[in-house]
Amino acid sequence: MIEFTLSRVAVFACGAVLLAAAVVPISESYEGRKDADLAGAADKVALMIDAFWDSEADVMTLRGWDVLPFQDMSVEIDGHVLTMTKSGREYRSLVEHPADRISISYNSIISLKRGDGFLILADQ
């Protein structure tokens, strides 16, 4: 009877080791996927700003909650570099036309307009 119990304990221990060995690569895979999704979000915001530049519109109003997927995120545009920040991690993308230093948080509303070759904040 003791052999049966010890064999079940050994099987349980081996199963726990195999499960622990599988959890680490899977969690890293999900973390990498999340980083790729947020980098893609930064690229999409940059494409949206470039599309505004090429459009006929004079002013573009951005609401943070429409642009950013999470409340703890922000976007900063400085020159050609767009930086999306979430929980201390940064995701960068490039915009075609330079901009003044512009920051967008989740709860902010800003208006952009074209200046002399660069994007600026419109008067609100």
- Per DSSP, the residues of 6-34 read HHHHHHHHHHHHHHHHHHHHHHHHHHHHH
Q: Is residue 123 over pLDDT 70? A: no
How confident is the model over 72-113, as pLDDT tens digits?
Answer: 889 998 988 999 998 888 889 998 888 888 888 989 898 888
Other Cβ atoms closer than 10 A to 59:
12
